[in-house]
């Protein structure tokens, strides 16, 4: 029997989250977008700070899979420093197998800074340069699913390695949640990954960027994304909910009602995407997976960081029992 239900693949980091003082910070808007502003050239007070180890899209997904009872591991890189050791320990604590975490002696681990203002954040990122190599998996280590997300701009060739491995492993399904640099690379460069994907998950703005469809036409966006190859497509839309298509039926799903104001939104998308995939792994249909995913996303934003609020299957079931009658996926 295979040792893993799902392996997550992507970069890992430590996040230092700094909660800004609203009295000395503000958001301004111009033609280029929204800008976080603090006084320049002086000392600026902050409210509190948190250190979150072993986070990042793929790591958050692996923690979610473990919380949902799946046998899971993470394929990633860390540096040969104390931050790398701490992240390995955090993965163990979360129930994530670390045999495919590659330690890079003489390199630093990824360490990012998040500026938390009200219920959202701006993340300052710097990806270390690692030599990305797809590991050799024994037959028993070949998972039923791969969950592939954000890697650095230095890892384009890694996508080709992964695509080649998937072509040799037709029994393994791919869930793809593109990160920033994967979106910048474009669907032509990553054609083999999009074509291999069983599931593709994007937010609405990312869907426009990848597909070239119109932001106001969700049906068109879903169809355009299917044209890239994925069998199932999911588009998240923040508080407006989410949409999914299996190529035959398209659904709309509202957001699960928040029990209170969100604390901060780090990891909400990761919780949604990985919970959706976990439901498919468990054999649930697309519309039921779409119903379960927003529950975990809602729970995550009630806590600081992307993993503290992750739910067990029983926790999701309990909230679904209490869900209002209108909380269901409806065909478009």
Could you tell me the CA-to-CA distances from 266 to 31, 279, 285 in Å, in that order? 26, 22, 27
Give the range of the structural domain holding residue 101, as residue numbers without chain letter: 6-11+55-109+130-331
The encoded tokens of residue 236 equal 């998240």
Is residue 120 one of the residues assigned to a domain? no
CB atoms within 10 A of CB 230: 23
Distance separating alpha carbons of residues 277 and 324, to the nearest angstrom: 24
Is residue 326 one of the residues assigned to a domain? yes
Q: pTM here? A: 0.94
CATH number at residue 163: 3.40.1190.20
Is residue 36 one of the residues assigned to a domain? no
Which residue intervals of 28-151 are DSSP H helices? 57-67, 82-94
Helix, strand or coil for residue 209?
helix
Is residue 167 one of the residues assigned to a domain? yes
Helix, strand or coil for residue 50?
strand
Q: How many domains does the chain have?
A: 1
Is residue 322 one of the residues assigned to a domain? yes
The set of residues, in sequence order, having a beta carbon less than 8 Å from that of 66 and lying 6+ positions away, is 72, 94, 95, 96
pLDDT tens string for the chain (332 positions)? Answer: 789 999 999 999 999 999 999 999 999 999 999 999 999 999 999 999 999 999 999 999 999 999 999 999 999 999 999 999 999 999 999 999 999 999 999 999 999 999 999 878 899 988 899 999 999 999 999 999 999 999 999 899 999 999 999 999 999 999 999 999 999 999 999 999 999 999 999 999 999 999 999 999 999 999 999 999 999 999 999 989 999 999 999 999 999 998 877 777 788 999 999 999 999 999 999 999 999 999 999 999 999 889 999 999 999 999 999 999 999 999 99
Is residue 312 one of the residues assigned to a domain? yes
End-to-end Cα separation, the chain, in angstroms: 40
Is residue 313 one of the residues assigned to a domain? yes
Distance separating alpha carbons of residues 207 and 227, to the nearest angstrom: 12
Give kind and range of the element (H or E) at residue 313.
helix 313-321
DSSP structural state of residue 139 = G
Is residue 188 one of the residues assigned to a domain? yes
């Amino acid at each position: 029997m295979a040792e893993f239900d799902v392996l997550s693949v992507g970069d890992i980091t430590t996040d230092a989250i700094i909660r800004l003082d609203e009295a000395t910070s503000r958001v301004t808007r111009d033609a280029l977008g929204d800008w976080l502003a603090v006084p320049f050239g002086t000392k600026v007070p902050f409210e509190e700070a948190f250190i979150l180890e072993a986070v990042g899209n793929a790591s958050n997904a692996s923690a979610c899979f473990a919380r949902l009872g799946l046998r899971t591991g993470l394929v990633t890189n860390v540096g040969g420093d104390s931050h790398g050791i701490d992240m390995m320990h955090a993965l163990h604590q979360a129930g994530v197998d670390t045999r495919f975490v590659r330690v890079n002696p003489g390199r630093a681990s990824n360490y990012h800074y998040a500026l938390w203002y009200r219920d959202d954040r701006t993340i300052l990122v710097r990806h270390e340069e690692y030599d990305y190599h797809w590991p050799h998996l024994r037959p028993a280590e070949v998972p039923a699913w791969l969950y592939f997300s954000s890697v650095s701009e230095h890892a384009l060739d890694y996508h080709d390695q992964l695509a080649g491995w998937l072509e040799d492993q037709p029994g393994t399904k791919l869930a793809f949640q593109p990160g920033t640099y994967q979106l910048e690379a474009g669907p032509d460069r990553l054609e083999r990954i999009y074509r291999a994907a069983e599931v593709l998950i994007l937010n609405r703005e990312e869907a426009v960027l990848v597909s070239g469809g119109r932001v106001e036409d969700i049906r068109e966006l879903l169809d355009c994304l299917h044209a890239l190859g994925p069998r199932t497509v999911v588009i998240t839309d923040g508080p407006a909910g989410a949409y999914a298509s299996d190529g035959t039926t398209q659904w709309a799903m509202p957001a699960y009602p928040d029990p209170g104001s969100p604390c901060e939104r780090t990891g909400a998308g990761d919780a949604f995407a990985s919970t959706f995939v976990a439901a498919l792994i468990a054999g649930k249909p697309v519309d039921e997976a779409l119903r379960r995913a927003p529950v975990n996303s809602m729970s995550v934003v009630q806590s600081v960081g992307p993993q503290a609020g992750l739910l067990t299957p029983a926790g999701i079931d309990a909230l679904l029992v209490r869900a209002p009658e209108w909380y269901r996926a409806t065909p478009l």
